Amino acid sequence: MASSLDDLLQLGVRGRTVLVRSDLNVPLDTSGSAPRVTDDGRLKASLPVLQKLTQEGAAVIVMAHLGRPKGAPDERYSLKPAVDRLADLADFPVTLAADTTGEDARAQAAGLAPGSVLVLENVRFDARETSKDDAERQAFAAELAALTGDSGAYVNDAFGAVHRKHASVYDIAALLPSYQGDLVKTEVDVLQRLTGEPVAPFVVVLGGSKVSDKLAVIENLLGTADRILVGGGMVFTFLAAQGHKVGASLLEDDQLDVVRSYLERAEKAGTEFVLPTDIVVAAKFAADAEHETVAADAIEGSSFGADGIGLDIGPASGVAFADSIATAGTVFWNGPMGVFEFDAFAGGTKAVAQALTEATTRGALTVVGGGDSAAAVRSLGFTDDQFGHISTGGGASLEYLEGKELPGLTALGQ
C-alpha cells in the first residue's frame, strides 16, 4: 500500500527539501502578446499539497511538464505562464528555474528557503524524461533527486501523469522515500468506486472526437455499466456501423467492425448503448456556420447533403441523455457531446453537464473525467463544486478504467 502525504508529514518535513511531481499542464491562449492560462483547474488542484508542505516548513521543488516539446527547450512550452498563475493563486513564494537540472536549478535549489516553492522548467525539455531507455531516465531522475540534498523526499501529486513511465513519475520513486499526494489519493479512491461496485444504475457518458480513443474503456465497461451514452465526434462511427450515412462528419472506417461487435455484445452483457436520435449538422466547421437539426439517420438529408458535418447532438438527444442520467446512481463522463467551443454547438455538452449537477444534488456519484470535459464544464459556466469529482487526468482516468497498470501508481506501491 502506498505511503501517504500524511505519513510524510508525521515524520516531519521541517528543514527538508521535498520534490513534488505536480500537474501544471494547463491549456494556454497564445493569440495575444503573452500566453495566458485559459483553465487553471489543475493549478488550483495542485495547491493543497504544496500548501501543506510549505506550512510545515519544507522547501518544495516542483517538477511538471506542459505540452509535448521534442526533448529540448522550446519557449512555446515554457511553464512560465502556468507558474505566473500559480504564484497569483498561492499564499507562499513561487519562483521558476530557468532549466530543469542545470546551473540555475541547482543554484536555486541550494538556496531555497523553508516554506518556499521552486518550479523547475518543463521536465520534457530534457529528452531523458520520456526516454524508452531505462538508463537514460534513471540518470535524469538521479539529477532531480540530487536537488533535494541529503534528506529529501518525493511526493507524486500529478494524477494526470501517472500513466506515463517517465523519469519524474516512475524512476524517481526508486531514489527517494516516496509518498502519494492527496490529489492522487483522491483520484484513485474515486476510480476504485467506479471499478468496484458502483451504485446502480451506472451510466457512462462518452464523447470526444475519436471512438478509437475509447475502445478499451468500452470493452472493460461492457457488463459493468448499465447504460453507455455516446455523443461527440465518435458517435458517427456508431451511426455508420448501424448503416446510416454521416455526410462529412468525423468517421473512423477502420473501427466499424469493432463498433458493430460492441453493439451486438452489449445486450448480452446487460449494457444498453444510447445513441442520439437527432444531430446538429453544419455547412462547415466554423463558429458561424449555417446549421440545422436533423434526425440521426438522416444526416445527408439536411440542406447540406453529403457535405454536411455533424457538430453536436441535437436538443431531443440532450433531453434523452439528461433523462437517462436522472435515474443514475453513478455517472462517469468523459468527452464533450459536440464542439462546445462554438456556442451554436455547445447545447449537448451543456445538457449533460446540467444533468450531472442535478444528479450530484440528489446524491449520485458524478465524475467528470478530466481533459476536454473538465474544460468544457468550466467554460460553460459550471463550477467544480457542482460535481462529485472533476478528474485532473483524462488519459490516466481512462487507462485506469481500462484496467491497465499505471506506472506512477506502481512505483508508489499502489
395 is catalytic: yes
Please indicate whether residue 42 is annotated as part of the active site: yes
**Count of beta carbons in the 10 Å neighbourhood of residue 385:** 9
- The whole-angstrom separation of Cα 250 and Cα 329 is 32
Please tell me which residue in 36, 106, 193, 210 is annotated as part of the active site: 210
**156-184 exposure pattern, b = at least 16 Cβ within 10 A, e = fewer:** bbbbbbbbbbbbbbbbbbebbbbbbbbbb
Residue numbers belonging to the annotated binding site: 23-25, 42, 65-68, 124, 164, 214, 310, 341, 370-373
For residue 389 the three cell numbers come to 469529482
**Nearest CA-CA partner of 78 in 129, 125, 20:** 125
- Give the strand pairing for 227-230 and 272-274: parallel
For residue 62, give the C-alpha cell.
516542483
Residue 321 to residue 25: CA distance in whole angstroms = 31
Annotated binding site for substrate: 23-25, 42, 65-68, 124, 164
Active-site residue, selected from the candidate residues 115, 193, 395, 404? 395
Contacts for 110 with CB less than 8 Å, ≥ 6 apart: none
* Marked catalytic residue, from 16, 21, 41, 42: 42
Active-site annotation holds for 247: no
358 exposed, middle or buried (CB, 10 Å; 0-12, 13-18, 19+)?
middle
Set 181, 338, 347, 371: catalytic member:
371
Q: In 3D, which of 316, 275, 273 has the Cα closest to residue 294?
A: 316
Residues placed in the known binding site for ATP: 214, 310, 341, 370-373
Residue 265 known to be catalytic: no
Active site residues: 42, 210, 371, 395
